[in-house]
Amino acid sequence: MQNYFPTTVRLVQIIWILARFFIVPLLLPKRNLESTPIRLRKGLELLGGAWVKMGQALALRFDLLPAEYCTELLRLLDEAKPFPYATVREIVRIELGGYPEQIFFSFDVKPVASASIAQVHKALAFDGRQLAVKIQRPLVRQQFASDYRIMRTLSYVVDLFSPSRARTSRAFIDEFQQWTSEELDFRKEARNGHRMWLFSKNDPIHVDAKVIWEYSTERILTTQFMNGIRLLDLIKAIHSADQIFLNDFARRGYDRLKIARRISWNFFNQLFRDEFFHADLHPGNIFVLPGNVIGYVDFGIAAQLSTNFKSSIQDYVRYLIEGKIEEAVAELVRWLNPSGPTKLDQFQYDLMLLLEQYRFGTSGEVDQDSSLKLTSDLLIKNMSLMRRHRLVPTRELSLYFKAVLTADAVVYEIEPGYKLFTDVRKFFAAAQWDDFSYILSRDNVVLFLGSSVYRATQLVTTIKRAQGTGRFFEVWLETLQTRLAVRGFAAIAFGFVAFALYDAFGAVGGAAYLISGGLFVCVVTLLALMWRSGRELSAVHPHSTLPEVPNEPD
C-alpha cells in the first residue's frame, strides 16, 4: 500500500509557497511587487527537489510558457542546504562497505557543493588520486515520487482548461519524470561520464572528469577532482565587479575570450561530431583549468542525437549562414509535431519572415556576421512562434534548443561581446579538414595502398590462370597495374589540392561548390581512364598473342 503521507506534507509546503509568493504579494502596493516570473523562480528554488528540475526544463519550453517566464527560469539555481556528515558516513558504509575514513586516505567533512539531489565531498585515495565523491541525499527518491504525483495532478487540471484540449502538459510531465528518474541512478550518470571522457581524452582543450568505477554505485558517484576555477565563481566576480579576483585571474594567464571560444568549440564538437553532448551546461558544472582548458563535471543529463537529426540540424545552421531561408525552414519543420489544429503553411511563412529579418536585416543583402545572431534571441522568438501555432518540437529538437540556449547564456556571461555561433564557420571548416586529414593519415593510406596492391595482385593471378601464360599479356597486366597505382595517387593529390583550396575560401558559401566539383572531376577522370584501360583489354586478340588453351580431356 502506498504511503501518501509524504505527498500530503509536500502538498502543504507547495500551498505555503503559493500563498507566500502569489497571494500575499497581491495585498502589497504594486510598486513593491516583483514580477510574476521572478516570484515563480524564487518559489521553485525554495521548494527544491524535482520542482527546481522542472523549472529548468520549463525554461526551454517556449511552446508551453510565455517568453518572459522561460527567460527568468533560465536563472534557476540548484542549491540546497547540506545534509549532516553522520548521514554521509552511513550512506558510504552501506554503498561501499566501509566508513569514509576506511575507504579513503582522507575525506573532507564539509562538502564542496550541495544541490537538490546530492552533495559532493573532496577525498584522497590511498594511491594519491584526488577524488570528488558525489553522495545522493537520503529519501530523495521518495520526495521526487511525491513531487511527480502532484505534478501529474496539476497537469490534468492545466490540460482540462487548455483551449486546444491537447495533452501537452501531461506529455511534458511524463517526459520530465523519465529523464529525472534516470538522473537519480548514478550508474546511468557514470556511463554518460565515461562515454564523454572517451570522446575527449585526447582533446587538448577539453577535459571530462574521469569516473572512478571502484568507488561508484547507484547512490555514490566518484570522479577525478577538478583542480580549477569554477565558472560560477568567475561569473559571480564579474557581476560583483570583484577586481581583486579578476586581476588575479588575468595575472595567472586566464583569458576570458579564449575561455568563451573554447566552450563554444567544445559544444560544437559534442553536438556535431560526437552526437553525444552535455545537456546541463550551467556554470556550476564547468571549470577553467590551467592553460585555459575547459573541464566538465556532472553528467546526469546527457543527450544522444541520432545521425539523421545531427545531419539535419547541421544543414539548418549551414542554410541560415548561407542565406538559404526556405531550405532552413524546411529542415526545422521536419522536427515539429502539431498539438492541435494548426496551419503549417502560415507557420512556415511566419518563420521565414523571422529568419529573413535576422539573416538579412533591412538591407536585403547577406550579412557576413549574421551568424552572431543565431543564438538566444532568435531561438526564443522561434519557440514562441511554435507555441502560437500549436507546434511541439520533438525531444531531440528540444534538447538542441536547451543546449544552445544554456551554452549561449554561459558564453555571454563570460564575454558579452562574443556569441556562441561566432566561430561556427571555422568549426565546420576545421571539422571537414580533420576528416580529410584522417582519410589521408599514414595508417589509412598504407592500409588503402596495401589493400589495393593485394587486390590488383589477386586480379592479375586470376586472369593469368584463366588466359594462359602469354608473355605479352603478362607485361600488359603489369603495366595496367602500374597505371592504376599512378592514377590512384593522382586522384588523392587532386582531392588534397581541391580540399586545400576549399578550406582557404571557407566552409560555407560559394566555395562549397569548389570541393564537390573538384572531387566530381576526380571521379569522372578516374572512371574515364579505367574505361579506356578496359577498352585496351578487350582489344587484345587472344589467338594472336597467347597460346591456345587445350581442351579438357573427355
User: Which of 124-128, 181-185, 434-438, 469-473 has the least mean pLDDT?
Assistant: 469-473
The pLDDT, as a whole number, for residue 126 is 95
Range of the domain at 392: 305-422
Reported confidence tier of residue 551, pLDDT bands at 50, 70, 90: very low
Question: Is a pLDDT exceeding 80 seen at residue 447?
Answer: no
**Domain final residue, candidates 118, 151, 175:** 175
Same domain, 438 and 401: no
Q: Which residue has the higher pLDDT, 340 or 108?
A: 108
Whether 252 maps to a domain, the answer reads: no
Reported confidence tier of residue 281, pLDDT bands at 50, 70, 90: confident
Same domain, 438 and 476: yes
Radius of gyration of the chain measured on its C-alpha atoms: 31
Q: Which residue has the higher pLDDT, 115 or 366?
A: 115
Helix (H, G, I), strand (E, B) or coil at 237: helix
Whether 427 maps to a domain, the answer reads: no
Question: Is a pLDDT exceeding 50 seen at residue 537?
Answer: no
The pLDDT, as a whole number, for residue 364 is 43
CA dihedral 43, 45, 49, 54 (to 10 degrees): 80
Reported confidence tier of residue 116, pLDDT bands at 50, 70, 90: confident
Whether 220 maps to a domain, the answer reads: no
pLDDT tens figures, 320-366: 878 889 999 999 999 998 877 778 889 999 999 888 887 776 444 44
The pLDDT, as a whole number, for residue 318 is 84
Question: Is a pLDDT exceeding 80 seen at residue 502?
Answer: no
The pLDDT, as a whole number, for residue 486 is 59
Which residue of the set 280, 298, 408, 423 is catalytic? 280
The pLDDT, as a whole number, for residue 434 is 61
State how far the Cα of 96 lies from the Cα of 272, in Å rounded to an integer: 38
**DSSP designation for 23:** I
pLDDT tens figures, 48-64: 878 888 887 777 566 56
The pLDDT, as a whole number, for residue 302 is 83
The question of whether 280 is a catalytic residue gets the answer yes
Question: Is a pLDDT exceeding 50 seen at residue 553?
Answer: no
Q: Which residue has the higher pLDDT, 15 or 64?
A: 15
Interacting residues of 239 by C-beta distance below 8 A, sequence separation 6+: none
Alpha helices in 97-220 (DSSP H): 100-103, 140-160, 168-183, 186-200
Whether 201 maps to a domain, the answer reads: no
Whether 59 maps to a domain, the answer reads: yes
Helix (H, G, I), strand (E, B) or coil at 466: helix
**How high is the mean pLDDT of the chain?**
77
358 sits in which H/E element: helix 344-360
| Residue in this structure with the C-alpha cell 545552421, named with its chain if needed | 317
The pLDDT, as a whole number, for residue 128 is 94
Q: Which residues are paired to 338 by β-bridges? A: 391
Same domain, 417 and 455: no
Same domain, 14 and 157: yes
Question: Is a pLDDT exceeding 60 seen at residue 468?
Answer: no
Whether 461 maps to a domain, the answer reads: yes
The answer to whether 319 and 232 have CB atoms below 8 angstroms apart is no
pLDDT tens figures, 184-194: 889 999 999 99
Percentage of the chain modeled with pLDDT above 70 = 69
Q: Give the C-alpha distances (Å, rounded to integers) separating 114 from 66, 77, 108.
A: 31, 11, 14
**Domain final residue, candidates 129, 160, 175:** 175
First to last CA, the chain: 89
Q: How many CB atoms lie within 10 A of CB 264?
A: 22
30 CB-contact burial (10 Å; exposed 0-12 / middle 13-18 / buried 19+): exposed
Same domain, 415 and 438: no
Q: Which residue has the higher pLDDT, 10 or 288?
A: 288
Total number of domains constituting the chain: 3
* The amino acid at 514: L
Same domain, 349 and 490: no
The answer to whether 183 and 189 have CB atoms below 8 angstroms apart is yes
Phi, psi (degrees; rounded to nearest 5) at 553: -65, 150
The pLDDT, as a whole number, for residue 63 is 59
pLDDT tens figures, 237-259: 888 889 999 999 999 999 999 99
Same domain, 394 and 528: no
Same domain, 55 and 168: yes
State how far the Cα of 473 lies from the Cα of 468, in Å rounded to an integer: 9
121 sits in which H/E element: strand 118-124
Go through the chain and tell me how many residues it has: 554
Reported confidence tier of residue 109, pLDDT bands at 50, 70, 90: very high
Question: Is a pLDDT exceeding 90 seen at residue 124?
Answer: yes
Q: Which residues are paired to 106 by β-bridges? A: 124
Same domain, 451 and 357: no
Q: Give the C-alpha distances (Å, rounded to integers) separating 26 from 33, 36, 46, 65.
A: 8, 11, 20, 22
Q: Give the C-alpha distances (Å, rounded to integers) separating 316 from 88, 322, 360, 394, 426.
A: 48, 10, 16, 15, 17
**Domain final residue, candidates 400, 422, 444:** 422
Whether 249 maps to a domain, the answer reads: no
Same domain, 440 and 461: yes
Same domain, 536 and 408: no
Whether 537 maps to a domain, the answer reads: yes
Same domain, 348 and 372: yes
Average pLDDT of the residues in 13-26: 83
